[in-house]
Amino acid sequence: MNQVQKLLIIGFVWPEPNSSAAGGRMMQLISLFKKQGFSITFASPAQDSDFMVDLESFGVDKKTIELNNYSFDLFIKELNPTIVLFDRFMMEEQFGWRVAENCPDALRLLDTEDLHCLRLARQKAFKEKRPFNATDLFLEDVAKREIASILRCDLSLMISEFEMELLESVFKIDKALFYYLPFLLEPIKIAQLQELLSFEERKNFIFIGNFLHEPNWNAVQYLKETIWPLIRKQLPEAVLHVYGAYPSQKVLQLHNVKEGFLIMGRANDAQEVAKNARVVLAPLRFGAGIKGKLLEAMQCGTPSITTIIGAESMHGDLPWNGFIVDEPSVFADKAVQLYRDKTIWIKAQQNGIAIVNERYLKELFEDDFVKKVEILQADLQKHRLRNFMGAMLQHHTLKSTKYMSLWIEAKNK
């Protein structure tokens, strides 16, 4: 990638790395492309937020775009990007046909974040009090939209190996169309470990997670109603600090000083909060992707207790940064054990550091990803010829989505 290339990122929202793992992930991708000398424009139809990152300070051009508006066609023709990265399938649905029509030679990448259809199918199974089955995915309208989007793109970036297996085994998608690129982190070095607070210097349990994300809200309810009372029986003085961006009134009403269940709202610095806590609790009962909160806990040397879904695709064959438990009474017992027992706590901390250093270092992935992009760019037409399903969907989508969008545009005038 020697000549200056242009990357256009079409964002679902403006990145908020302090509010969600998705925001942190996006900044990692920006950093990766910046390192390769790309000129980067980040465009989004979303409204500005008080907590969004200052993109200009990272050398990224910021552009507000409109849905169903010809102005985007003029903008992208003038920009003429070599690569377009869609942030989640909804952005590819909205703008993919315009990109294909106006910049047919641009490489189209999709950052999935997680498989939305998997998260929603699991959520539905949970609410219907039945086990999740992979065939449930076929019943989700979102699956049809999301898989169509993956097929229309040249390459989809996946953060979860489990989800890659689903794409291949359940949806029969060619492996050439997706690529494993997890969170890209710096190594945890011995000097950093020595700066971390010790077991004795830390106190309290924490939960952290954006409340716009349904699995987080459900986990906090579960903590309040079921798990926290079991922990408090054994540790009557225990305190749980619940952090998260965008708490609703329902969340704020769970605050109870007497029960040691404190709703803290948005964390100004999530890492600082995790570094001071002794144990992270994450009893997630549905969801998808890999969990930024649990990876952040590992980076901060903070052990965690989570569920099978919480730890999914995160640790490979390595021992967990604490315990993985689904049954609530065992979850509570293990939380107390981890909180009280220094030896177990230190071992858990070491496990977490090993997971970060062996599975998430950016140096393990960056060069290989750059090569993959170069190969695709050099042979894009051949790559697309092999993806007939994607070409067929692109053809029909151009017709259906295009004319729906043009109709909305005409109606708006």
Same structural domain, 175 and 215: no
Same domain, 38 and 171: yes
213 within a domain of the structure (yes/no): yes
Identify the CATH number of the domain in which residue 197 sits.
3.40.50.2000
Residues in the chain predicted with pLDDT less than 50, given as ranges, are: 1
Backbone angles phi, psi at 270, to 5 degrees: -60, -35
Q: Which of 317, 341, 359 is the last residue of a domain?
A: 359
Predicted local distance difference test score (pLDDT) of residue 1: 44
* 347, 292 Cβ separation under 8 angstroms: no
Clarify whether residues 213 and 248 are in a common domain.
Answer: yes
The span from the CA of 254 to the CA of 246, in Å, is 15
Q: How much is the pLDDT for 71?
A: 95
For residue 139, being part of any structural domain is answered with: yes
User: What is the domain count for the chain?
Assistant: 2
C-alpha distance across the termini of the chain, in Å: 42
Q: Are residues 100 and 126 in the same domain?
A: yes
240 with 326, same domain: the answer is: yes
Spatial distance between the Cα atoms of 312 and 215, rounded to a whole number of angstroms? 14
Residue 8 is given by DSSP the state E
Q: Are residues 314 and 167 in the same domain?
A: no
Say whether both 225 and 253 belong to one domain: yes
Residues 208 and 341 in one domain: yes
* pLDDT tens figures, 225-267: 999 999 999 999 999 999 999 999 999 999 999 999 999 999 9
Is 402 domain-assigned? yes
- CB count within 10 Å of CB 12 equals 18
pLDDT score of 404: 76
Q: In what order do the strands lie in the sheet with 279-282?
A: 261-265, 240-243, 205-208, 279-282, 304-306, 322-324
What is the pTM for the complete model shown?
0.93
Domain boundaries, position 43: 6-184+362-412
